[in-house]
Structure 1
Amino acid sequence: MSIVVTGATGHLGRLTVESLLSRGVPADEIVALGRDTTRLADLAERGVTVRQADYNDPASLRAAFAGADKVVFVSGTELGRRVEQARNVAAAAKQAGVNLIAYTSITKADTSSLVLATEHRGVEQEIVASGLPYVFLRNSWYFENYLPQIPTYLQYGIAGAAGDGRVSAAARADYAEAAATVVTTEGHANRAYELGGAPFTLTELAEELSRQTGREVSYTDLPEEKYIEMLVGAGVPADFAAVLADGDRGLALGELEVEGDDLARLLGRPPVTLAEAIRAAL
């Protein structure tokens, strides 16, 4: 039997595979899935089983899940298709006799008003309906949503529509380690974990950047529609700009702030802090 990680060509899936390896899971008991297996060649060289799979292709999923004991189901990225894809994944996992499916969801998926949360809620419902034992890893934002923008922030400042809302962002690698934890330890079946780090506002993000760089970085709060206009003007596709702005709307409402310490408990240590993440990025 094996642990299957979907979306292993993406950042979170790849980091989950690496975390499984670092936890001592034998490479030949890990199956890394992706649409383009050439991007997984280095994992294959290290002994990881590599298989081709596409969320939109049920036959490929059935073949990829053969012999699987547990599945880390990394959320797809195709807006509007996640629920249908989840139905395909759940059906293939059930046919394979999978004992646990761990899905990377979003903070407060069952109650959040975010556009993204609507799809994640639908995915969770599909998994529950399948009857498979599950774990919902409800991740807040990643630090990596912000860190690549540091050069832009240093030049122009930070803009958004988040007001004084706080986001419990954490490092992508910490979320991956949490996923590896729930499929390598017991006691997680049929639970939902709200995962995130110490919350901060975008003003506090600007202040931390200022402190570490010695340069003045400010946060400018905009109405949601003005923020969309700014993003589109900067070259962001209109549909994606609307999703980003909707994320800030939810952030302003507290829908990305996590209470409790689920992430720290799964990691067995404090998550990486914002200050540490910025220091490493710089």
Structure 2
Amino acid sequence: MTTIAVTGASGQLGHLIVEHLLNRGVDAGDIVAVARTESKAADLAERGVTVRHGDYDAPETLDAALAGVDRVVLVSASEPGKRLPQHQAVIAAAEKAGVSRIVYTSLIRASETSNPLAPEHVATEEALAASAIPATILRNSWYIENYTAQIPGYLAQGAITTATANARLSAATRSDYAEAAAVAALQDAEGATYELGGDTFTMTNLAEAITTATNTDVRHHLVSVDELVGGMVQGAGMDEGTARFWASVDASIAKGELETESTDLADLIGHEPTSMQDAVRAAL
């Protein structure tokens, strides 16, 4: 009997990973959902999953959360700038618990991209390599939901404004990435690194899909990185440092750094990832 713990189970990705483990036939009693806010995992508890309190920012909670666990899916923390010590706390607790393997959700091309989110993922991968626990690295590309969640704004403005140079990127839904994590937790793939990306499209393709699905004209408006920063500061009230951080993600996309020809995601989950057009329709 293998017990699998999923950290961040009160968040969207972690919650979906637990659901996919259940969908793939894992007994609920063999799953531990580690949640900072246990009430957000109440539906999992109702299905028989063990829900334990575990907070990345409170290392003292993690030892009990991972006690008796064989494998851990370490869902990367959500706050840039704080992730490395949070992840190190989970790794340390996993070592104390005698965990046999960790599956970590990293970032696509983490070791070679200019994406500002990458350094903490690279540092976490290095911490895992230095640990005695074998690790499987899932380098996830962008979530399609990063865009579909903004559809109301796109419709109101009639435009998607980016500094991506209309370069292609490979994105998938949270559910697809979650399913891949569940599969990886069930497989014996110590030391493997997977580059995960789904449907490949441009922001113009996205605008066209939204236009078709809503019968409302949405265009892709291309700007420079500096212009995008200015729009975030003046239009959204964002401070310049934060605006430049997120605008540099678009600069990374413009370099093609979020595009991949890897079929690792489809190979892991056993079917084609959700298309961008289907994700747009589902969001509406």
TM range (shorter): over 0.9
TM-score, L = length of structure 1: 0.96
Percent identity, aligned pairs only, is: 47
Q: Could you tell me whether the CA contact under 8 Å between 1:33 and 1:50 is conserved in 2?
A: yes
Mean CA deviation greater in 270-279 or 83-92: 83-92
What CA distance in whole angstroms lies between the structure 2 residues aligned with 1:26 and 1:243?
42
Matched, 1:8 2:9: yes
Query: Once the 2 structures are TM-superposed, how far is the Cα of residue 165 of structure 1 from its aligned partner?
Result: 1.4
Superposed displacement of residue 215, structure 1: 2.3
Report how far residue 62 of structure 1 moved.
1.2
Select the residue among 272, 275, 284 that pairs with 1:273: 275
Runs of 4+ in 1 over 6 A off after TM superposition: none
Q: In structure 2, what is the Cα distance between the partners aligned to 1:79 and 1:169?
A: 20
Does the 8 Å contact 1:8/1:34 carry over to 2? yes
Residue 175 of structure 2 corresponds to residue 173 of structure 1: yes
Give 1:236 shift: 5.4
Q: Letter of the 1:180 partner, please give it.
A: A
Q: TM-score, normalised by structure 2?
A: 0.95
The one-letter code sitting in structure 2 at the alignment partner of 1:221 is: L
Classify the secondary structure of the residue corresponding to 1:207: helix
Q: Specify which of 236, 242, 245 is matched with residue 244 of structure 2.
A: 242
Residue type at the aligned position of 1:219: H
Compare 176-185 and 49-58 and name the one that shifted more. Answer: 49-58
Q: Which residue of 2 aligns with 1:224?
A: 225
User: What is the correspondence of 1:77-226 to structure 2 with a 5 Å cutoff?
Assistant: 77-156=78-157, 157-186=159-188, 188-226=189-227
1:9–1:36 contact (8 Å) kept in structure 2: yes
Change (3 A) 1:206 1:117: same
Amino acid at match of 1:199: T
Partner of 1:39: 40
- Give distance in 1, aligned partners of 2:61 and 2:98: 16
SS at match of 2:257: coil
Name the aligned partner's letter for residue 224 of structure 1: V
CA deviation after TM superposition for structure 1 residue 39, in Å: 1.8
* Greater alpha carbon shift after TM alignment, 204-213 vs 110-119: 204-213
By how many angstroms is 1:10 displaced? 0.5
| Residue matched to 1:23 | 24
> Structure 1 236/54 Cα, relative in aligned 2: closer, same or farther at 3 Å?
farther
CA RMSD of aligned residues (A): 1.3
Segments of 5+ residues of structure 1 without an aligned counterpart are none
In the alignment, structure 1 residue 252 sits paired with structure 2 residue 254:
yes
Measured in 2, the distance between the counterparts of 1:98 and 1:8 equals: 18
Contact 2:115–2:249 (CA under 8 A) maintained in structure 1: yes
How far apart, in 2, do the equivalents of 1:99 and 1:183 lie?
Answer: 11
The answer as to whether partners of 2:199 and 2:274 remain within 8 angstroms in 1 is no
State the distance in 2 between where 1:119 and 1:279 align.
Answer: 34
SS of the residue corresponding to residue 169 of structure 1 reads strand
Deviation at residue 190 of structure 1 after TM alignment: 0.6
- 2: CA distance between counterparts of 1:57 and 1:26? 29
The answer on whether the counterparts of 1:86 and 1:127 sit within 8 Å (CA) in structure 2 is no
Give 1:58 shift.
2.2
Assess if the C-alpha contact under 8 Å between 1:3 and 1:71 holds in 2: yes
Alignment CA distance shift 1:236-1:6 (3 Å): farther
Give the superposition deviation at 1:90: 1.0
Deviation, structure 1 residue 42: 2.0
State how far apart, in whole Å, the 2-side matches of 1:83 and 1:45 are: 32
Q: SS of the residue aligned with 2:91?
A: helix
